A and B are shown apart, each in its own frame.
Chain A
Amino acid sequence: MFTIETGSGFWNPIIWVAAMVIAFLVTYILRSFGNKSYKKNTEQTKVFLSGNPEYQKEKMHVKADNLYWGFTESLKGFYSLLKKVHTGNTGDYILWFVIILAIFFIVEVI
């Protein structure tokens, strides 16, 4: 009911869940040994930005477009090619269909 054979191994979600529960318990126990000197609503909880003033909360939120900036920047060339291909033009959509049709014809028919 739980175990699937993959051909070279197996997968049992119950074992995985049990392992996760044990890992959580171990983490929780380790955490309980931590420093208890934390005090709410004191200087300890204030944000420190190298002495700079803190921005408004909503301005601190990183926008979706800025996440993974490094990744997209390093693949700039590839992205500009992909964006060029995605023209939004229905004629181009059909052109891709014709190209794939042609490849299938060359391989399977001719």
Chain B
Amino acid sequence: MNIPEYTPALVVAIPLLGAFLTPLVGRVNDKLRNIFVILILAINAMLVALLSYDVLVNGIQTYIFGAKDLSYPIVRILFEVDAMSVFMAIIGSIVLLVAVIYSWAFMKENTGLDKYYTLILLLTAGMLGMMLTGDMFNFFVFLEITSISSCALIAFRTDSAESIEAAFKYIVVSAIGALFVLFAIALLYGQYDALNIAALSNAIQYTFLDKIALVLLIAALGMKSGIAPMHMWLPDSYGKAPATISLVLVSATLASLYGALRVIFTLYGNVLSTISNSGIPLNVSIGWLIIALAVVSIIIGVIMALIQSDFKRLIAYGAVAEIGYMFLAIGTGIAALGTQYGETALTGGIFHIMNDAMDVGLLFLVAGAIYYSTKESSLNKMGGFARNMKYTTILFIIGFLAVSGIPPMNGFASKLLIYESTFMLNPILAIIAILGSILLLAIFVKVFYSAFMGPEIPRFKNVKEVPKSMLFAMGIIACIIIFFGLFPELVITNIVEPAKNALMGYSGYVSQIVGGGI
């Protein structure tokens, strides 16, 4: 199949163009606007699928914005798309498409939907840009686009002071994180006169300034990913945004996680085994620091989730624990670089990125469905919803079994890889991870009992099931969860392993640009 070389550019350009056209289409008709946005994101998802096919079959794809000839003063930006980039783009495009399908009925009674859909498309462009770009400054620009549009979406319900407060906290945290990312990029640019990730990776010497840049990048992107103890913005934002936006924020957060992975494995890929100041290899010290934060995330996430009575805030703390699992696997992969179990840990961690987006995303949509039908978010006031909301109940069961890592759901397959590989590094890590999963199960059993089981509450006697479009959107995610759970090897072989190999084989990423004639 012949895939046009400009596909990476289209993946970002189409939602960007769609964002500016949405208010115009909205002037004609609300229905037409909704169809237009779904169409834009469906086309984008197809382009991502084509690009993924191209990358997985033919290898890394690049697209040059600006000067193509190296003999002139070069003003240009490169998109460099490898299997890890497309892996993340697949997650992002699925999540965004599901979010707009769900929004059709869910947001129907809200005003200002032109702005809502415009911001969603802007966020899509920013998020996919972060995943596809091969340029550090460009990464920063897309990070800012994602942060600003996310902030506006969190504050979408302007009648709620809590939403505004959550958005304020989000933008403060994001702006400071982005500022440190920019500072780190400036340090690298000042030394190497380059912004291209591959060129920087090739040139990096691990000087004093490089060390500072690495620390700034990991800490800032770690905070944006929601790793504890820098996670506190996350329950505020996820909890107070509309359910669809909580789902979108999950994938936006994962884009920052992708940034951290790109920095560690690609930007600093050729110096990872350098001996650091403490006398131990850089990969070991960085790996263990990440593991320590991951363990804190798992413990704080589950312990805090257990005492929450707000449905979405509870899921948000669960999401903090899930981020902990990803970082635990990634930290293990870094600390045990070059070992078989280190690779297994990375495979599990990358697989878990996708599973987390689906599992936590589905739970947020279920919380949204309950809010839509009952206008209630406090678990203390809920009960007996399984009587009137049978499909939502089934979807919740699928979501909570998956997020708790219960077989045969997708969460189990990725967590099993994480348990076994972390056990090889240190058995205590595996014990903490398993205990975390048990507590996650206990937390969602509490939700299941308090919201769905029990006698019928008179106030909710006339509660009805949510519209079909919302069920359809949740059903898409549920089907993915079950499919990934039943066919884990298929998923791992075709998209997870190539992503892991792309991440670990930084020399392939570098040689595509440096010495590759581009």
A residues lining the B interface (CB < 8 Å): 1-4, 6-9, 11, 13-14, 16-17, 57-58, 60-65, 67-68, 71-72, 75, 78-79, 82, 85-86, 88, 90, 92-94, 96-97, 99-101, 103-105, 107-110
Q: Within the assembled complex, what's the spacing in Å between the Cα atoms of A7 and B336?
A: 14
Q: Does B79 contact A (CB under 8 A)?
A: no
Q: Does B454 contact A (CB under 8 A)?
A: yes
Give the nearest-CB partner of B212 in chain A.
A109
B222 touches A100 (CB 8 A): yes
8 Å CB interface, B154-185 against A: 168-169, 172-173, 176-177, 180
8 Å CB interface, B208-226 against A: 208, 211-212, 214-216, 218-220, 222-223
Give min CB distance, A76 to chain B, whole Å.
11
Q: Does B408 contact A (CB under 8 A)?
A: yes
In the complex, besides A92-B232, A96-B230, 20 extra interface pairs with C-beta distance below 8 angstroms are A3-B489, A4-B413, A6-B420, A7-B340, A7-B420, A13-B488, A17-B408, A60-B455, A64-B309, A64-B379, A64-B382, A65-B309, A90-B172, A93-B232, A94-B176, A100-B229, A104-B219, A105-B212, A108-B285, A108-B289
B489 touches A1 (CB 8 A): yes
A2 touches B219 (CB 8 A): no
B211 touches A108 (CB 8 A): yes
Q: Does B515 contact A (CB under 8 A)?
A: no
Given A62-B450, A68-B442, A107-B278, A101:B219 Cβ within 8 A = yes
Q: Within the assembled complex, what's the spacing in Å between the Cα atoms of A109 and B222?
A: 18
B277 touches A68 (CB 8 A): no
B408 touches A57 (CB 8 A): no
The interface residues of chain B lying within 8 Å CB-to-CB of A85 are 229
Q: List 8 A-B contacts (CB under 8 A).
A: A1-B490, A4-B417, A6-B416, A7-B424, A13-B408, A90-B169, A107-B285, A108-B285
Per CB-CB distance, the 8 closest pairs between chain A and chain B, nearest first, are A57-B455, A64-B379, A13-B408, A64-B450, A61-B454, A104-B215, A6-B420, A101-B219
The interface residues of chain A lying within 8 Å CB-to-CB of B278 are 107-108
Give min CB distance, A66 to chain B, whole Å.
9
Tell me which of A6, A68, A79, A99 has the highest count of chain B C-beta atoms within 10 A of its own C-beta.
A6
Q: Within the assembled complex, what's the spacing in Å between the Cα atoms of A45 and B214?
A: 67
Interface contact tally, CB-CB below 8 A: 159
B215 touches A14 (CB 8 A): no
Q: Does B486 contact A (CB under 8 A)?
A: yes
B169 touches A93 (CB 8 A): yes
Q: Within the assembled complex, what's the spacing in Å between the Cα atoms of A13 and B413?
A: 9
The interface residues of chain B lying within 8 Å CB-to-CB of A8 are 420
B230 touches A108 (CB 8 A): no
Give the nearest-CB partner of A20 in chain B.
B408
B210-253 interface code vs A (CB 8 A; 1 in, 0 out) = 01101110111011000001101100100000000000000000
The interface residues of chain A lying within 8 Å CB-to-CB of B338 are none
Interface size class of B (residues with CB under 8 A): 35 or more
8 Å CB interface, B375-401 against A: 379-380, 382-384
Give min CB distance, A96 to chain B, whole Å.
5
The interface residues of chain B lying within 8 Å CB-to-CB of A86 are 232, 304
Give min CB distance, B379 to chain A, whole Å.
4
Given A86-B232, A97-B223, A61:B455 Cβ within 8 A = yes
B306 touches A68 (CB 8 A): yes
The interface residues of chain A lying within 8 Å CB-to-CB of B176 are 94, 97
Q: Does B303 contact A (CB under 8 A)?
A: yes
Q: Within the assembled complex, what's the spacing in Å between the Cα atoms of A92 and B233?
A: 10
Q: Within the assembled complex, what's the spacing in Å between the Cα atoms of A97 and B412?
A: 32
8 Å CB interface, B438-469 against A: 442, 446-447, 449-451, 454-458
A101 touches B216 (CB 8 A): yes
A101 touches B442 (CB 8 A): no
The interface residues of chain B lying within 8 Å CB-to-CB of A61 are 383-384, 450, 454-455, 457
B407 touches A97 (CB 8 A): no
A4 touches B489 (CB 8 A): yes
B172 touches A13 (CB 8 A): no
Given A61-B384, A82-B303, A7:B289 Cβ within 8 A = no
Give min CB distance, B55 to chain A, whole Å.
22
Give min CB distance, B473 to chain A, whole Å.
25
The interface residues of chain A lying within 8 Å CB-to-CB of B340 are 7
Give min CB distance, B323 to chain A, whole Å.
14
A63 touches B380 (CB 8 A): yes
Q: Within the assembled complex, what's the spacing in Å between the Cα atoms of A61 and B449?
A: 9
Given A13-B488, A103-B289, A104-B215, A67:B276 Cβ within 8 A = no
Q: Does B492 contact A (CB under 8 A)?
A: yes
8 Å CB interface, B37-78 against A: none
Give the nearest-CB partner of A91 in chain B.
B172
Given A85-B229, A109-B208, A16:B408 Cβ within 8 A = yes
Q: Within the assembled complex, what's the spacing in Å between the Cα atoms of A6 and B278?
A: 33
Choice from B172, B307, B449, B486 contacting A62 with Cβ under 8 Å: B449
Q: Within the assembled complex, what's the spacing in Å between the Cα atoms of A86 and B313?
A: 13
B232 touches A79 (CB 8 A): no
The interface residues of chain B lying within 8 Å CB-to-CB of A62 are 449-450, 454
8 Å CB interface, B10-50 against A: none
Give min CB distance, B408 to chain A, whole Å.
4
Give the nearest-CB partner of B211 in chain A.
A109
